[in-house]
Amino acid sequence: MTDVFTTTIVVATIASGIRLATPFLLAALGEAIGQRSGVLNLGVDGVMLLGAFAAYFVVLDTENVWLGVVAGITIGICMGVLYAVITVFLHAEQGVSGIGIYLFGLGMSDLLFQKLVGTPLPIDQFSEWSVPYLSDVPVIGVMLFQHSPMVYIAFLLVPVVAFILNRTTFGLNVRAVGESPESADSLGVSVRRVRFCTIIAGNALAGLAGAALAIELGIFQQNLTNAMGFIAIALVYFGAWRAPGVMAGALVFGMVGAIVLQAKTLGLIPRSASDIAAMAPAIITILALVVVANRFRQPAALTKPYFRGD
Amino acid sequence: MTHSDSQQVDSALPASSIETSLEKAPMLEMCGITKRFPGVLANDNVSFDVRAGEVHTLLGENGAGKSTLMKILYGLYQPDEGELRLHGKPLRLRSPLDAISHRIGMIHQHFMLVPTLTVAENVALGLPSQRGPLTDLKRVSRRVNELSDLYGLQVDPAAFVWQLAVGERQRVEIIKALYRDVQLLVLDEPTAVLTPQEVDDFFTILHEMKRDGRGLIFISHKLQEVMDLSDRVTVLRHGRVEATTTPAQTTRNDLAALMVGRQLDSATRGNRASLTSETPEVFSVNGLRVAGDRGVDALKSIDLQVHAGEILGIAGVSGNGQRELAEAVTGLRPILAGDVLVDGSAITGMTPKKIREAGLSFVPEERMRDGAIGDFSVADNMVLHNHTESQFSSAGFLDFAAIKTHCSKLVQDFNVKTPDLDTPTKNLSGGNIQKLIMARELASNPRVLIAAQPTRGVDIGAAEYIHQRLLEQRDSGTAIMVISEDLDEVMALADRIAVICEGEIMGVLDAGNATREQIGLMMAGVSDAANSQRA
């Protein structure tokens, strides 16, 4: 047993956990930004799927992964505009609208895939990028600094999002609009504009998450995300609407997934139990949510459309 | 006085103007404002103006058009006709942002503060920062401290708003306005949440602001305050200006008459209940402890007794446990410790239905949330609690004829003004909805009545009527507990007054010889004993 847990395996598992956490982190950061301004977006998974397909299709065509990333973000922005118009300008109920977006994304990504591609051809993947010097540090180098660029982008976005929310006037507006839109409005902060921006940003990140996933895996298939977007929403609650908390949640989820994968590879889990093992990340997330949830209050105006007057 | 139109928020305060403000041309004029809503003429050719350095009070009942007029001034509504002028120049306000940019501020009745943000963040919200996209809370905090010192408004810029008491929150609102260096400030019922002593401090600040040459628009129902504070008073009724006058030229009673359109017999107070030692104690609360919404104890072991034919008034500043008290005794909030007794038997922990059956009726404070269902008809709301009883239904089927007879009688008895019994309740005025709820609650001639804020947001006529009904019900032997943040109401109705502060009863006074000052001190947390020692 002891030789199983050699350093190499532990390092590989952690590195793979970080990799697995990346799309969750991107999507959850986007969702957190939206929720801080009072908008729940249940459509993340649908947007991720559309982003994933757009990225896949563009990379297949151009063999340039970065054009794929741009395509994913662009689709995310388009879906963001759609969702913002529905929820902010037409005041539609956010829960149902989000489910609509999800179903649209789920169906449309598959339809486009069937019509435009048909067979699952592999595409170029991200090439690994080692951080100079840091990647040579023993143990930690392999663990943290030999990843695809998307991993660095996702984790660098954590302090960026935290900084924007906590240290900028825009972030102050976002927090105010999510807690008390009428107060923000009375001080001349446009609730619509703020929510419009956060929805666009959130959906762009969801599109990016999808692109990161498709290019990381180098394929596309029906329901590629397999409800990752919903897990990302749960991670926002887990992370108490704060960027570092969301990152912690994504890492827990990624690590559990990596450990299960590693254990399977090593034959530690019998075949008969492999389905149960595959559920582990979800079960652990739910347990963690139960423990963490309700310790922090959600933004007071979450899911509430804002009407001026009266 | 010259105000530049620039948005230099950090600029020094305007030099105090020593000129006599009343002779000056108006700072703001609203000329011939008309605003229509479907089926309602909210403002009908209203003209109103404010001069620099004066307090101009806007007085009127609910629905008289005060709020509409102020929303027009703050850019929330556009007038259908008429014009606004600021310093003689025409003004168009399309949004609050426009109003703010002309240094017009408003302190809303419900504070416009974000509880999860700090004081400094609340002040900075919506303003451009000196550091571009980054917030500059240090500078804001410094300025907040300067303003605090200048005006005697103590407030910690780093405190979160949710940690602050109501009086402190109001100071934050004032600081927000001062920070923006408003030249014109609308104060919408600012004293409703303050103790009488806090009101005095507040008025001192307003005088300070007047001296700076700012124009203040004061909205209040409290006629004494209006008389004390105003330079001029404009009375609105049915969307029209009834009169513009000065306190020197009028009296409280005249103002009340102008508001309502008829003379009021203000001394409605009947004979006080004559209690003897034999009068049975019908309702009592012993050692009641109840948690608030945030988990902290909202009531810390309180004791209260109400006798048959007595009104016990619960006075206190909003948010000191009144709501929790009402909810706990009516079964809507769990009781942590203590007992609630009706006629000597415990109703503690029973369901609201059982508590009603024990003879306790409840007029809740949030009438549209807890008292009636807006989309239900008048009749449905009147039998909401007892439609399953045999008089109104059999085998699960409603007996519409019986319900109709019952409700027609109630509507008539309680003077509820409604087109018919099928009208959705939300279409009624606040006063009529409250009369409807009173009718329902008193129909069973209860042993105990808990009335929370019975006349809040109700027009004077209906309030007078509701007071009359409460006194009649008392005379017929019901033990009544009136919970009200309106001290005048408590003093007018109650036989004994219990003052609540931070979840504790500071003392119970005989209404006959209680003074406002005494009650005010207790509302601020000075206990009765300490109070009498000072005297």
Give the pLDDT score at B14: 43
Give the pLDDT score at B5: 41
| Interchain CB contacts (distance < 8 Å): A and B | 75
Taking residues A42-63, report their average pLDDT.
96
Residue of A nearest to B103 (CA): A187
In a domain, A308, yes or no: no
In a domain, A297, yes or no: no
The CATH code of the domain that includes A226 is: 1.10.3470
**B292 vs B302, residue with greater confidence:** B302
For the beta carbon of residue B170, count every other beta carbon within 10 angstroms.
Answer: 24
Contact B403, B379 (CB under 8 A): yes
Q: Give pLDDT tens digits for A114-144.
A: 999 988 899 998 888 888 888 888 888 888 8
Instruction: Please check whether residue B152 touches A, CB under 8 A.
Output: no
Confidence of residue A293 (pLDDT cuts 50, 70, 90): low
CB contact under 8 A, A180 and B124: no
In a domain, A303, yes or no: no
What residues of chain B lie within 8 A of the CB of A168, using their CB?
133-135
Give the pLDDT score at B25: 81
In a domain, A21, yes or no: yes
Q: How far is the C-alpha of A38 from the C-alpha of A303, rounded, in Å? A: 6
Q: Give the residue ranges of DSSP H helices in B116-222.
A: 119-124, 137-151, 166-179, 196-211
Give the pLDDT score at B256: 83
In the block, residue with structure tokens 């660098």: A156
CB contact under 8 A, B124 and A169: yes
Taking residues B326-353, report their average pLDDT.
93
Q: At what angle do helices A228-238 and A7-36 cross, to 10 degrees?
A: 80
Q: Give pLDDT tens digits for B363-397.
A: 998 888 889 998 999 999 999 988 888 889 988 89
Q: Is B474 exposed, middle or buried (CB count within 10 Å of its CB: 0-12, 13-18, 19+)?
A: buried
For the beta carbon of residue A156, count every other beta carbon within 10 angstroms.
Answer: 10
Contact B54, B97 (CB under 8 A): no
> Minimal Cα–Cα distance from B35 to chain A, Å?
14
Helix, strand, coil percentages (3-state) for chain B, rounded to 5, are 35, 25, 40
For the beta carbon of residue B332, count every other beta carbon within 10 angstroms.
Answer: 16
Nearest CB among A173, A179, A189 relative to B115 is that of A179
Give the pLDDT score at B15: 40
Instruction: Please check whether residue B250 touches A, CB under 8 A.
Output: no
Take residue B175 and report the two structure tokens written for it. 């600081």
Contact B50, B27 (CB under 8 A): yes
Confidence of residue B7 (pLDDT cuts 50, 70, 90): very low
Q: Model ipTM?
A: 0.87
CB contact under 8 A, A188 and B112: no
The residues, any chain, with a CB within 8 Å of residue B223's CB and separated by 6 or more, are B59, B252, B255, B256
In a domain, A17, yes or no: yes
The winner for highest mean pLDDT among A193-197, B25-29, B260-264, B277-281 is A193-197
Q: Give pLDDT tens digits for B69-121.
A: 999 999 888 999 999 999 999 999 988 889 999 999 999 888 899 999 999 99
Question: How many helices (H) and strands (E) are present in chain B, helices listed first?
Answer: 17, 22
Which residues, numbered 43 to 82 in chain B, qualify as contacts with chain A under a Cβ-Cβ cut-off of 8 Å? 71, 74, 76-77
Domains detected in chain B:
25-103+183-193+212-266 (3.40.50.300), 112-181 (no CATH), 281-534 (3.40.50.300)
What residues of chain A lie within 8 A of the CB of B106, using their CB?
186
Count up the domains in chain A and report the number: 1
How far out from the chain centre does Cα A163 lie? Answer: 19
Average pLDDT, chain A: 91
What residues of chain B lie within 8 A of the CB of A172, using their CB?
117, 121, 124-125, 135
Confidence of residue B515 (pLDDT cuts 50, 70, 90): confident
User: SS3 letters for B421-465?
Assistant: CCCEHHHCCHHHHHHHHHHHHHCCCCCEEEEECCCCCCCHHHHHH
Taking residues B236-257, report their average pLDDT.
89
Q: How far is the C-alpha of B328 from the C-alpha of B323, rounded, in Å? A: 8
The residues, any chain, with a CB within 8 Å of residue A95's CB and separated by 6 or more, are A40, A42, A303
3-state secondary structure of B522: helix
Q: Give pLDDT tens digits for B156-194.
A: 999 999 888 778 888 999 999 999 999 999 998 888 777
Least Cα distance to A309 among B168, B71, B139 occurs for: B71
> Minimal Cα–Cα distance from A70 to chain B, Å?
26
Take residue B524 and report the two structure tokens written for it. 């601020």
Q: How far is CA A271 from CA A263, A264, A281, in A?
A: 11, 8, 18
Taking residues B340-351, report their average pLDDT.
92
CB contact under 8 A, A187 and B108: no
Q: How far is the C-alpha of B345 from the C-alpha of B514, rounded, in Å? A: 32
**A264 vs A251, residue with greater confidence:** A251
Residue A233 has pLDDT above 50, yes or no: yes
Provide Rg for chain B, Cα atoms. Answer: 25
Q: How far is CA B313 from CA A110, A173, B266, in A?
A: 68, 43, 19
Residue B227 has pLDDT above 80, yes or no: yes
- Helix (H) / strand (E) containing B479: strand B479-484
CB contact under 8 A, B126 and A188: yes
Q: Provide the domain limits for residue A287.
A: 2-292
Give the pLDDT score at B471: 93
Give the pLDDT score at B69: 92
Nearest CB among A187, A190, A308 relative to B125 is that of A187
What residues of chain A lie within 8 A of the CB of B126, using their CB?
173, 184, 187-189
